Structure 1
């Protein structure tokens, strides 16, 4: 029996590949398995090869498996592109309609199943994906009823007949394999623990986190791979009086978001690298006017249009230093969907506590991979709106005078007011200004204002900035960020089982950079390897720039694909 299974379905975009994989994944998630699903797709609406790779496990895994156990193919291209991933004794189930050709030289079990024909018998050729699911279930020793609740949830609005037709298609696929020999014992899965878990993408968790944090306005321009945040909240915001506003571009999105926050409403926007570039001038405006704003940046392959549907970590330097001039900025980098939820809530609190832009950085693999998530603890949610002006402070403003919105304070954070508050009138401008907001080019004031703004984050240490697992003294310390957490964890697990002293430090805050904490872990390791998905080693350079001392090696990958566990494991093994 298997304690984990790697399953992939592939075909042309528009053939229902996503819904096939999603149905399979949700069904097994509901049985108490841990699921990790990664979608490969092209930057086009329809056509071109796409696949959905799903890892089913009895323990949490946050990366795709190294090899495939089973491949469902709706066309020859799927076999040509993906068969090399199959392990010895792996399975291909293909639609006999296209006369599939299986590669030679590898021990592969092959099933040619008339997906399309059986689907037509059930009611429509469009249901061939359900036939494929039934065939998969039979080989794995599962039952057709596994999919019944999902099919009912998905198609009941179209009528009971459609639900029954889809279930009939599942049974036809199941029965066909049954006649071919049925379940294969070595492909049976050990039982899941039966616990109920959420199943979501990182983008879903970002959106739900914004909702829970009290965000009620999201101006944004659609961009892959961040658009799911908009799409999620388009459905949810109306229930709480919120609004998603599709703007004409990213410049409008960020300026509207700043305006909404200035008016007193918690608001955010979401984008990817090209959009973040367009937002830079306005992010500087938020820094200068000390207006809270939350920006979600889902990194993808760049530069320019680059690889819109592929994975990369190439926005770190842009997020920290892309704005002209110097402003305080908080940059967070969650590593899991669960962290996307909680970090987003933190982001809104930080934005208002420190009155500055906060960027929540994810990557395509984290934002778009589906994963099992433990139910959220809503008791952990705390809303902190920062230093709002008190009634006493406003009452103390003499008639005819302006409120000192940018008052010099010991911590650099001034009392904030919302438009319409009596006694709160002040100037707001993007040029340098004095305490009441009037433009000022006075040299002494300029220096003092710069020190005030930049001093807000001086000495600040955010919680959960770095996590550490492994021995106190390590022969090798592996440092990662974002979605690399899963592959590094697996590599370290394998090496530890071999008796190697390997540790894992994961960076979750880029600004203010956790130099002291990271330095402590580096000091206790003989070698340090930094794993990231870019060509220039941006995280490694940030470590050096912010004063982490030591010799650092890099493992870099920038072909548009996330790491697989064996890639990190093999490289680490060479070092120890």
Structure 2
């Protein structure tokens, strides 16, 4: 028996590839397996090749696999594009309708299954996704009743007749493929899973759930890949808690409405991708100048301009830190797991209100849309911190005197009132202002206000600004990454250890203000430093060189072709670098 397996389904976008993957993955999750998925899709609604790759394991995993065991193909293009990933003697389950063939040079077993024909016999070709899933499930020899239960959960709302036909499609395809193979394939028999309940969600859903748990009750947003799922999650969820989502006319409106809601005392966020964040920059500056808390999610994708809207990249880092005109305080957080997406969203709201500034939650497409197994979340960890928001009665002000909303304080954070509070009236403007908000061009006041706002940064305290796995006092290599690269780096480290190369690993979770003191000791001790990131200019490496130094030790491993890193790529790069250094 094996402890892990890789499975992929592909076809034309819009023909049910996602449904095939969804039921298959749900059933495996019910059994307690750990899963990690990567979805390749085109930047159009229908048509164009799409595939979803799922890695299945009895142990936690956070990386896609280098190769593939089973490929399910709805068309010949799927075979042509993906067959090179198959292990020697891997399996292709293909729709017999397309007269599938195995490309030259690929050593794979092809099973042509009448997937479309089975579906059409049951009344509609829509059932072919269940037929394809059933054929895959049968090869693994897993209990069919678990799969059927997942089908019932997915289609139960459509009535028993629909459920029965889907289950029949599963049964017929399973019987057909087992007749071809003579039974489940022994080399694909998975070891039993632990059976524990787990979550299987995308990062965007975890962010949506985290925002609800944090007390967010309003989200203005404009749809954009790969951020739209945050909005879609909250459209369904926020009304249950008295909240609402508004689809705005553009990202400028979305950001300014979120700022306005927070000014009114309601926790609000917006979410977008790089092009949307570009439009928000002036509004983010407004939040910094008016010291209004706001949380903004940036799900990075391939750029610039429209770029590669459905592909992986990590190229917004410097823009999120330095993009606004002028100088304002802000926090940029970078979660790296599903769990961190949830907990960091809550922390983002707390930081925004405690320090009265914008907080940007920076994810990437793989983390945002790649479906992954997560342990159950601990809601007891949730703590709401609203900082100096005055929720009770304010002290009486003298006649003709306004509330000192921007009063100079030791920590740079002033008392905050909301509209309608007695004695809380003050002036709000995007121009420089005095303590009561009235416009001021006094050079003395200007310097004091700038120092007040920027002085907040020295008090920023974030839970685990870096995540460290450093078993070696003086490692051959220190590997540093951010976002979704963490699991891939860890898997590569295991392979490097087998080759006698000692490594430590740091995932940078706080990008601004940069955690210099936390990361510096590890750079000092490392012989070499490899920084792994999905961009062309080494933006994380630039931050480290700028803030910490050690440029002579640092080597960048960059990938910007739209695909996430594979463990083998990092292993090869680090092994070759170590050999060069030893010479």
Question: Is 1:575 the counterpart of 2:577 in the alignment?
Answer: yes
Distance in 2 separating the partners of 1:388 and 1:94? 60
Distance in 2 separating the partners of 1:248 and 1:461? 36
Distance in 2 separating the partners of 1:439 and 1:110? 74
Quote how far apart the aligned CAs of 1:396 are. Answer: 4.3
* Number of residue equivalences: 575
Q: Which residue number in structure 1 is paired with residue 257 of structure 2?
A: 256
Q: Give the SS at the match of 2:313.
A: coil
Of 457-466 and 560-569, deviating more is 457-466
Of 195-204 and 21-30, deviating more is 21-30
Q: Give the SS at the match of 1:467.
A: strand
Quote how far apart the aligned CAs of 1:49 are. Answer: 0.4
Q: Which residue number in structure 1 is paired with residue 292 of structure 2?
A: 291
Q: Which residue number in structure 2 is paired with residue 158 of structure 1?
A: 158
Quote how far apart the aligned CAs of 1:150 are. Answer: 1.5
Question: Is 1:224 the counterpart of 2:225 in the alignment?
Answer: yes
Quote how far apart the aligned CAs of 1:260 are. Answer: 0.3
Q: Which residue number in structure 1 is paired with residue 581 of structure 2?
A: none
Distance in 1 separating the partners of 2:300 and 2:391? 40
Q: Which residue number in structure 2 is paired with residue 565 of structure 1?
A: 567
Length-normalised TM-score, structure 2: 0.97
Distance in 2 separating the partners of 1:527 and 1:8? 37
Q: Which residue number in structure 2 is paired with residue 315 of structure 1?
A: 316
Distance in 1 separating the partners of 2:289 and 2:12? 49
Distance in 2 separating the partners of 1:187 and 1:391? 63
Q: Give the SS at the match of 1:214.
A: coil
Quote how far apart the aligned CAs of 1:104 are. Answer: 2.4
Quote how far apart the aligned CAs of 1:115 are. Answer: 0.6
Q: 1:548–1:459: structure 2 CA closer, same or farther, 3 Å change rule?
A: farther
After the TM superposition, which parts of structure 1 deviate over 4 Å for at least 4 consecutive aligned residues? none
Q: Which residue number in structure 1 is paired with residue 94 of structure 2?
A: 94
Distance in 1 separating the partners of 2:560 and 2:253? 31
Q: Which residue number in structure 2 is paired with residue 173 of structure 1?
A: 173
Contact 2:23 2:154 in 1 (8 A): no
Distance in 2 separating the partners of 1:460 and 1:197? 33
Contact 1:515 1:548 in 2 (8 A): no
Q: 2:555 aligns with which of 532, 553, 556?
A: 553
Q: 1:44–1:9: structure 2 CA closer, same or farther, 3 Å change rule?
A: same
Distance in 2 separating the partners of 1:232 and 1:148? 26
Residue by residue over 1:524-567, the C-alpha shift from the partner in whole angstroms, topping out at 9 and shown as x without a partner, is 11000000000000000011122343421000000001011100
Alignment of 1:40-439 (within 5 A): 40-180=40-180, 181-389=182-390, 394-439=394-439
Distance in 1 separating the partners of 2:197 and 2:537? 41
Contact 2:83 2:106 in 1 (8 A): no
Contact 1:461 1:514 in 2 (8 A): no
Distance in 1 separating the partners of 2:40 and 2:154? 23
Q: Give the SS at the match of 1:395.
A: coil
Residue by residue over 1:382-415, the C-alpha shift from the partner in whole angstroms, topping out at 9 and shown as x without a partner, is 00000124757x3242132101100000111101
Residue by residue over 1:465-516, the C-alpha shift from the partner in whole angstroms, topping out at 9 and shown as x without a partner, is 1111132321100000000011101011221233321111110001111011
Residue by residue over 1:365-384, the C-alpha shift from the partner in whole angstroms, topping out at 9 and shown as x without a partner, is 00000001111100000000
Distance in 1 separating the partners of 2:185 and 2:143? 14
Of 83-92 and 459-468, deviating more is 459-468
Distance in 1 separating the partners of 2:19 and 2:473? 45
Distance in 1 separating the partners of 2:568 and 2:433? 55
Contact 1:144 1:174 in 2 (8 A): no
Distance in 2 separating the partners of 1:12 and 1:182? 30
Distance in 2 separating the partners of 1:105 and 1:80? 11
Q: Give the SS at the match of 1:30.
A: helix
Q: Which residue number in structure 2 is paired with residue 16 of structure 1?
A: 16
* Structure 1 segments unaligned to the other structure (5+ residues): none
Quote how far apart the aligned CAs of 1:463 are. Answer: 2.1
Residue by residue over 1:56-115, the C-alpha shift from the partner in whole angstroms, topping out at 9 and shown as x without a partner, is 011111111000000000001000100000010100010110111111223211101111
Distance in 1 separating the partners of 2:38 and 2:391? 49
Q: Give the SS at the match of 2:216.
A: coil
Residue by residue over 1:219-264, the C-alpha shift from the partner in whole angstroms, topping out at 9 and shown as x without a partner, is 0000000000000010001100100000000000000000000000
Distance in 2 separating the partners of 1:432 and 1:108? 68
Length-normalised TM-score, structure 1: 0.98
Distance in 1 separating the partners of 2:284 and 2:530? 33
Contact 1:261 1:293 in 2 (8 A): yes
Distance in 1 separating the partners of 2:547 and 2:399? 47
Distance in 2 separating the partners of 1:144 and 1:17? 20
* Structure 2 segments unaligned to the other structure (5+ residues): 579-583
Contact 2:13 2:49 in 1 (8 A): yes
Distance in 2 separating the partners of 1:58 and 1:264? 46
Q: 1:131–1:391: structure 2 CA closer, same or farther, 3 Å change rule?
A: closer
Contact 1:219 1:254 in 2 (8 A): yes
Quote how far apart the aligned CAs of 1:214 are. Answer: 0.3
Of 382-391 and 526-535, deviating more is 382-391
Of 27-36 and 395-404, deviating more is 395-404
Contact 1:198 1:374 in 2 (8 A): yes
